[in-house]
Structure 1
Amino acid sequence: MQPIKSCHSQRGAVVVLMAVAMGALILTAGMALDMGHVFLNKTRLQNTVDAAALAAAKTLDDTGNTGLATAEALQAFGDNASASGNGELGDAYGAGNGSIQVTIEYSETLPPFAAGAANGPYVRVRATGFVMPAWLVRAGGIFQKTVAAAAVAGPRTLNVGSTVCNVAPMMVCGNAGGPGYFGYTPNSAVVLKKSTPGGQSAVGPGNFQLIQLGGPGAAIVRENMAGSYGACLTGGSTIQTQTGNEAGPVAQGLNTRFGQYNGPMNGQQATYPPDVIVDAQTPALRAVQNGTGYDVYQGNLLITPSNIDVLYNYQDYMNDLRNPGTYDYQPINEGGIGAFERRVLAVPVGNCDGTVNGQGSVPLLGFACFFLLQPAEQQGNDSFVYGQFVSDCAVTGTPGPNPVAGTGPHIIQLYDDPASNDS
């Protein structure tokens, strides 16, 4: 006869199996919960370094100063780490005194990101050492998890096919097949808006190089010149021109960028801040008609790219931006009322081969960047707007399908960092 097995021994085996199964279940559930916890905080850390990289790249683009950019990155990282819902991240960072270490590097190229560049323009923010305790997987011998994150940010040129916003309500004429950039030479002084009544115009009679953004009318011109334009233009479309000189509204709006608030702009500093630097020209510039265009003079001196250094020019401006001690108005983010690069405009470039009598459509070739050399006069015959053609400027917008590096307006955006598994 076979021996009869004890029910007690069978129950003991079941207890062991249940204990093993329960342990495995707890470990699996613990890993799921802990990994969800890790993933959540990894996402919070990535969002924080993304914000820090964008802040640093924007400040570097505005000022050219990596010291200011680094300070802005650390400020942005700290502000986001201490934000509501980021308790563990904030504790781990501890205003720079916790386990998280933040490093900020600059590169002249991308790709590759070659750390060590003195002036960027690309910036990488990397955060390491974010340690989180395990909750339910300690039984499996896992007591903590450490994560890191990295982000790279920098400029991206908006070329043909891109949509550009924050453009100035003026138009310059260009040549699609001309030398340089639509025929413009770097550092050349350009009349962005003509003024002489009855004078010749490359666009057509009655046209003073103004364009419609959001509709016609003096009030809209004034606010658009000050910077309220929300309309966007896309390369390859057309520009709707506007008839009339509108000398008063042009000067009242444009000159807010120089800290001058006249007429309806009085008291509008909060809405339309001045540039941090408002240095202009002494003596003032004047325009002399040359065919359908204008030459720019200071006194009897014709201003050219080779002698533009006699003026307060874009290079002087950028040098001063690196030194906060030269600012006429302190930046808004430091308790002042000034804003960076209010004097740098993205201006539509049109194909003016056809004639447009006052109002009409002009083919849009692209966009060019200009530094405002001085405030505009509010008198009809003297209300020219003068700009220096520069290689790039910051705007908002959407890149085209084949973005490339080059001359023209750009946005600041995030990039993948192929050298890092953390971005």
Structure 2
Amino acid sequence: MEKLKNLLKNENGNVLVLVSLAFTGLIALTGLVIDGGQLYMTKSHLQKTANAAVLSGAQELTNTEAKVTSVVDEILTRHNETGAKERLDISMNHRVGIELKKPVPLFFSSIFGVESVDVRVTAGARLGAMGRGTGAAPLGIDESISLEYGKIYELKVDQSGIEAGTNFGILALAGTGARTYKDTLLNGYQQELKVGDIVETQTGNVAGPTREAVDVLVNTCSSPLARDCPRALLVVVYKPHKHEQNQLKQVEVRGFAYFYLTERMRHNDSTVKGMFIKRADSGFEDLIAADRGAYSIRLTE
């Protein structure tokens, strides 16, 4: 009987040890979950911040390096991560990259002398020639033109279609007719255009509707560097496709360019005056698209 009592006492002691070990393991596991969760959430937040910073900064890669830096810093401030910037690499007209670092205080690991861990993330975004996009104006330029950015060009809008051999022309993106043309010039073509699409040229004299639309557009913003500026028109870069009686009836989309309207059209004026600019905006890259200064942005890491 005495031996049985001693055995039961020993088993009670074993259970107490096992419970203590299990409780210690549970605390350790809970601590690891808390620390791991904190590290995961911090890294996720930093990565989203880094992605937003380079995507926004890349919009200014055709502007100035100072503007890229300013936009990146603005995004970091909005996400309360101003002090996290470890490195910023800018290659104008090409790419922007960033590295963020943030120390994360630990709960459980601090028991073992590990007070914090540095979380690091990187992100990059680059420009690519736009090959698909929406919002195009019903104006086009021949892909054979080698553009001089900042130079004033005059696009004629008084011809019936596009005469063979000319460098500029008006397009019937949303259909024919002066009213449709004017609406498309004001608001852009709302369907997607892409490299390889065949579009019709616009026939008839549209100088009047062009003048009315240009008068509205030139008052929308005052600088070609302004974001979302309606007077910076996305125009089609085309390749002649179908000729008929010395008229170019159809063109093939080869890429896109941005044409900034510099002034109103005078009474009875038959040309649109403006300059071609480099600009990064929404759209999609195509490796075979003609590079005429219209760029889309994509994350690279």
Q: TM-score, normalised by structure 1?
A: 0.59
User: Following the alignment from structure 1 to structure 2, what is the Cα–Cα distance between the partners of residues 107 and 343?
Assistant: 25
Give the CA deviation at 1:105: 2.5
Residues 1:362 and 1:344: Cα distance change in structure 2 (over 3 Å) = closer
SS at match of 1:48: helix
Q: What residue in structure 2 maps to residue 101 of structure 1?
A: 84
Structure 2 distance, partners of 1:51, 1:156, is: 18
Cα gap change, 1:140 to 1:200, in 2 (>3 Å):
closer
What's the CA shift for 1:169?
0.9
CA offset digits 1:274-293 (Å, max 9, x no partner)? 2426xxxxxxxxxxxxxxxx
* Counterpart for residue 201 of structure 1: 163
Q: Please give the secondary structure, in 1, of the residue aligned with 2:98.
A: strand
Q: Does 1:221 align with 2:181?
A: yes
Give SS of 1:364's match: strand
Q: Could you tell me which residue of structure 1 aligns to residue 77 of structure 2?
A: 78
Change (3 A) 1:138 1:35: same
* CA distance 1:195–1:16, change in 2 (3 Å): same
CA distance in 2 between partners of 1:214 and 1:360 (Å): 15
Q: In structure 2, what is the Cα distance between the partners aligned to 1:229 and 1:363?
A: 16
Does structure 1 conserve the Cα–Cα contact (< 8 Å) formed by 2:99 and 2:122?
yes
> How big is each residue's C-alpha offset from its partner over 1:291-343, in whole Å with a ceiling of 9 and x where there is no partner?
xxxxxxxxxxxxxxxxxxxxxxxxxxxxxx6xxxxxxxxx58xxxxxx55943
Shift of 1:237: 1.7
Whether 1:51 aligns to 2:11 is no
2:129 pairs, out of 157, 169, 172, with: 157
Q: Distance in 1 between matches of 2:174 and 2:250?
A: 15
In structure 2, C-alpha distance between the alignment counterparts of 1:415 and 1:373, rounded to whole Å: 35
Tell me the equivalent position of 2:283: 397
Q: Please report how far the alpha carbon of residue 37 of structure 1 lies from its aligned counterpart in structure 2 after TM superposition.
A: 3.0
Unaligned runs of 5+ in 1: 82-89, 109-118, 175-181, 260-272, 278-320, 322-330, 333-338, 417-423
Alignment partner, residue 127 of structure 1: 100
Distance 1:203 1:232 in 2: 27
The aligned residue for residue 38 of structure 2 is: 37
C-alpha separation between the residues in 1 aligned to 2:54 and 2:245?
A: 45
Query: Residue 19 of structure 1 corresponds to which residue in structure 2?
Result: 20
Give the deviation of 1:130 after TM superposition.
3.8
Q: Separation in 2 of the partners of 1:361 and 1:223? A: 21
Aligned-pair CA distance for 1:195: 1.4
Aligned-pair distance for 1:361?
3.8
Note the 1:24-423 alignment, pairs <5 A: 24-61=25-62, 64-79=63-78, 81=79, 90=80, 93=81, 96=82, 100-103=83-86, 105-108=88-91, 119=92, 121-134=94-107, 138=110, 142-158=114-130, 162-172=131-141, 174=142, 182-187=143-148, 191-195=154-158, 201-202=163-164, 209-259=169-219, 273-276=220-223, 342-343=231-232, 345-355=234-244, 361-372=250-261, 374-379=263-268, 382-388=269-275, 392-400=278-286, 402=287, 406-416=291-301
Please give the per-residue CA displacement for 1:20-49, whole angstroms capped at 9, x wherever unaligned: 122223322332343123212211111112
Calculate the TM-score normalised by the size of structure 2. Answer: 0.79
Separation (CA, whole Å) in 2 of partners of 1:365 and 1:128: 42
In the aligned structure 2, how far is the partner of 1:362 from the partner of 1:340?
27
SS of aligned partner of 1:44? helix
What is the identity percentage for the equivalent residue pairs of Structure 1 and Structure 2? 24
Count of matched residue pairs: 296
Gaps of 5+ in 2: none
Larger strand percent: 2
| Counterpart Cα distance in 2 of 1:376 and 1:104 | 47
Superposition RMSD on alpha carbons, in Å? Answer: 3.6
Alignment deviations for residues 210-257 of structure 1 (CA, whole Å, 9 cap, x no partner):
223344444442333234432221111201333222222212223444
